[in-house]
Amino acid sequence: MVNTVPHVQKQLPLISLHDTPLEACPHITTKGPHSAPLLPNSREVPKLHFSHPSPAVPHEDGLGIMGQHGSTFPPLMGHLPSPAQTPNLEDKVTLEEVGNDKGQEQKKSVDQSILLCCKFFISEARNIATLDAVERAARLNPESVIVNKFHDRAYNRARYTLVSYVLHDCTGNAIYSPLQQTVVAMAEAAFNAINLELHDGAHPRLGAVDDIVFHPLGRASLDEAAWLAKAVAADIGNRFNVPVFLYAAAHPSGKELDMIRRELGYYRPNFMGNQWAGWNMSDVLPQNPDEGPRIVSRAKGISMIGARPWVTLYNIPILSTDVSAARRIARKVSARGGGLPTVQTLGLVHGEDSTEIACMLLEPNQIGVDKVQNRVEMLAAKEGLDVEEGYFTDFSPEMIVEEYMNLISARRS
């Protein structure tokens, strides 16, 4: 049962509409062309009132995926649905524009078919107080919704999946998403609670807030996801003095995440040959980041922020402690090693008695998990190793949209 509180209008800040007075742009809408360029760094703050109920945000019981690979996930990670396939996406909430000369309120609507998904990765999964602090920050803004989370103690890494809408100005440019202030608040909580010099785990990482990626959902565009990624990167780089590297659609030339990570030494373990511990890189980066300073805080590290179409994350347990064999298998599965196109892999230690092939499927509609699973099983058999059925670490896009719509509908009831 979802608890609600009495109706309260919540006032949220917006970034500048290209320094255009709000009253001069009366047709704020969520429809129109989705060019969504990065907005100027302005401190002018037009204000909007959200007139739908803003209840205290409940904990979505059942969404926490606390195990390592014992959790149940959907059998398929399908493609993004078209608007015709998702009738519930046309749900709307009322928006009131405030600030015109006559004080007259003009009712607008937030189009819930234009959604952005954020996957927020932090280098912590063992300290419950830290996880609680990050989650509390995520729940400060009821317009953003946590739809899923995944904690892996062996990797000492956690991921939060959040969804919210996008607003546009009268020219169709994206100007506001609640995700911006939510993600920045989560980053602040993580930087305050995580000291990368004291961190260790079996998964590579470069930062306390290691990776933030935005995906378009429903009728949202990749341009809108890129706009939000760049806005969040500027906030995190400037506010917390953290070097930020943009990737994929958020990068000026589309530079991919794995290439940037490789240049920065992400994939090289620095402890026991298969673990990542503390900070052993230079305090001065070999290249300029896209945002923030070139000098690195050893406690905070570096953050990667990008935007791209949906990516499927799928991990396959190997019943062996031989990490060298896992790495050989991973390389032969990956596109980089001559394996499956658009598939990236890592062979990692996962607990005391197993290893794992961590897979990133960049185009899951072209190369799906069945092909990846079959290829891993074939290669493992040649090594004389047994393989378990793989598992997803997140919901499919369809399930994420459905969960988001269910949660916001429950809040209004």
pLDDT tens, per residue, the chain with 413 residues: 434 333 333 333 333 333 333 333 433 443 333 333 333 333 333 333 333 333 333 333 334 444 444 443 333 333 333 333 333 444 444 343 333 333 333 334 677 889 999 999 999 999 999 999 999 999 999 999 999 999 999 999 999 999 999 999 999 999 999 999 999 999 999 999 999 999 999 999 999 999 999 999 999 999 999 999 999 999 999 999 999 999 999 999 999 999 999 999 999 998 888 899 999 889 999 999 999 999 999 999 999 999 999 999 999 999 999 999 999 999 999 999 999 999 999 999 999 999 999 999 999 999 999 999 999 999 999 999 999 999 999 999 999 999 999 999 888 77
Tokens of 240: 């917390």
* Listed residue (229, 234, 244) closest to 303, CA to CA: 244
DSSP class of residue 75?
S
The strand pair at 303-307 and 244-248 is best described as: parallel
Give residue 109's pLDDT: 62
CA distance 139 to 47: 21
> b vs e for 125-137, b when ≥16 Cβ sit within 10 Å of the residue's Cβ?
bbeeebbebbbeb
3-state SS, residue 355 = strand
Give residue 268's pLDDT: 92
Q: How far apart are the first and last CA of the chain?
A: 11
What domains are defined for the chain?
10-61+85-310 (3.30.990.10), 312-392 (3.30.70.670)
Tokens of 250: 């958020």
Is 251 a residue of the active site?
A: no
Give residue 413's pLDDT: 74
DSSP class of residue 271?
B
By the 8 A CB rule, do 238 and 188 touch? no
Helices (H) then strands (E): counts for the chain: 7, 19
Give residue 250's pLDDT: 98
CA distance 247 to 259: 9
- Taking CA atoms, 12 is separated from 140, 163, 404, 405, in Å, by 12, 17, 20, 21
> b vs e for 306-321, b when ≥16 Cβ sit within 10 Å of the residue's Cβ?
bbbbbbbbbbbbbebe
The strand pair at 343-349 and 355-361 is best described as: antiparallel
By the 8 A CB rule, do 87 and 3 touch? no
Four-point Cα dihedral 124, 130, 132, 133, nearest 10: -120
Edge-to-edge order in the sheet of strand 343-349: 343-349, 355-361, 312-318, 391-392
* Listed residue (82, 113, 102, 105) closest to 28, CA to CA: 105
3-state SS, residue 15 = coil
3-state SS, residue 135 = helix
- 338 backbone φψ class: left, alpha, beta (φ>0; ψ -120 to 50): left
By the 8 A CB rule, do 91 and 409 touch? yes
3-state SS, residue 326 = helix
- Tell me the three-class secondary structure of 221-257, residue by residue: CHHHHHHHHHHHHHHHHHHHCCCEEEEECCCCCCCCH
By the 8 A CB rule, do 38 and 4 touch? no
Choosing from 199, 203, 215, 350, the catalytic residue is 203
